[in-house]
Amino acid sequence: MFRKDDGRRYPPGTDRSQTDVYCKIMTITPEIAKEMLSFNTKRNRTLKKNFINSTAAAIKRGAWVINSNGIGFDTHHNLTDGQNRLNAIILAGRPVRSIVAYNLPPRAFVTTDNGTKRSYADIANICGYDYSKLVGAAANLLYRYTHGSFRHTTMPTNDQVEALLSNCPGLAHSAKVAAQVVHVLPPSIGTFCHYIFSEKDADDADLFYEGLRSGAGLPVNDPILALRNKMFQNKGSVAKLQQHYIIAITIKAWNAWRNNKKLQVLRWSPKTGESFPRPI
C-alpha cells in the first residue's frame, strides 16, 4: 500500500521530493498507525501502557485534539517518535489528526521529549485560577475521590482535570482558605477537604477552617482541636501519616464537629474494617 515505484517501502505520507526536514498534518487511521509502527525497526523506548490507555480513552470520548506533539521519522525512514500515540490510536479504533515530521536526523531521539510534562498546576493556571498549585493538586484529589479511590492508578489526564476545573469554580475560594491553614494541613489536602465540606455547608466550612487556623478558644474536647493536635504531632513524627489517612481524619473531625460531638482522640482504623468516611 505504501510502496513507491522503486519498490521500496516508505512511511505513509512520505514526499520523496523533499530533501530536508518537513512536516505535514495527517489524519491517522488505525490502519495507517499500524503501517507507521512497522517502521519502528530501531530500538525505541518501552511502551507506556498507562499513557496509551489514557490517550485511547481521551480519543474515544472526543477529548483528544491536535497539538504540537507529533509522529517522527528519520532520514532512514525509522520511526523515532510517536509509538505510544500510534498504539493509542489503534487501541481507540478511531482516526486522529496529527503533525508528522519526516527526514529527521537519526539522532533526533536524543532531544525528543526532554521538555517538562504539563502539570495539574499548569492546567489550573491556564484555566485562570489563582493559587494554581493548590487548585491543581486538589483537582487531582477530587477526581480520585469521586472515582472511588486515592490510588495512583486513578490519576486523571490533563483534559479530565480541565473539565473538572470548569465544573468546580469553588476550588478557587477553597484554595484561598486552605492557604491560611498550611501550618496545620498540607495545602492540597486543605483545599480538597474545604471544597467537599463547602458542598455540604459553605459557611460551616469557613468556620471550621477558621478554628483550624487560629485554634483560639477551642475547648478541650473540640474535634477541631483534636485535628490540630494530631497534625502537629504528625509534623514532629519520623513516621508520617499517609495522604489518604490525613483526609480521612479531617473528614471525621468535620463530621464530629457538625454533630456537636466531643472528641479528644482522632483516628481512622481501616484495618479493623472501618470504611472511608464521607462528609455530612
User: Residue 50: pLDDT band by 50, 70, 90 thresholds?
Assistant: confident
The domain spans of the chain are 22-111, 120-272
Predicted pLDDT of residue 42: 63
Kindly tell me if the per-residue pLDDT of 114 is higher than 60: no
Predicted pLDDT of residue 47: 83
d(CA 172, CA 125): 11
Q: In the sheet that 70-74 helps form, which strands lie side by side, from edge to edge?
A: 22-28, 96-104, 70-74, 79-81
* Mean pLDDT, residues 28-37 taken together: 96
Kindly tell me if the per-residue pLDDT of 44 is higher than 80: no
pLDDT, tens only, 65-103: 999 889 999 999 999 889 999 999 999 999 999 999 999
pLDDT, tens only, 138-168: 999 999 999 888 776 678 888 889 899 999 9
d(CA 62, CA 164): 16
All cell numbers assigned to 135: 487548585
User: Residue 110: pLDDT band by 50, 70, 90 thresholds?
Assistant: low
Kindly tell me if the per-residue pLDDT of 45 is higher than 80: no
User: Residue 247: pLDDT band by 50, 70, 90 thresholds?
Assistant: very high
* Mean pLDDT, residues 104-118 taken together: 69
d(CA 254, CA 116): 38
Which is more confident, 189 or 43?
189
Predicted pLDDT of residue 53: 92
* Mean pLDDT, residues 234-248 taken together: 94
Kindly tell me if the per-residue pLDDT of 2 is higher than 60: no
User: Residue 107: pLDDT band by 50, 70, 90 thresholds?
Assistant: confident
Predicted pLDDT of residue 40: 87
Q: Judge whether 185 and 193 are in contact, CB under 8 Å.
A: yes
Q: Classify the C-alpha dihedral 120-123-127-132 as positive or negative.
A: positive
Which is more confident, 115 or 235?
235
Which is more confident, 201 or 236?
201
d(CA 16, CA 163): 42
User: Residue 4: pLDDT band by 50, 70, 90 thresholds?
Assistant: low
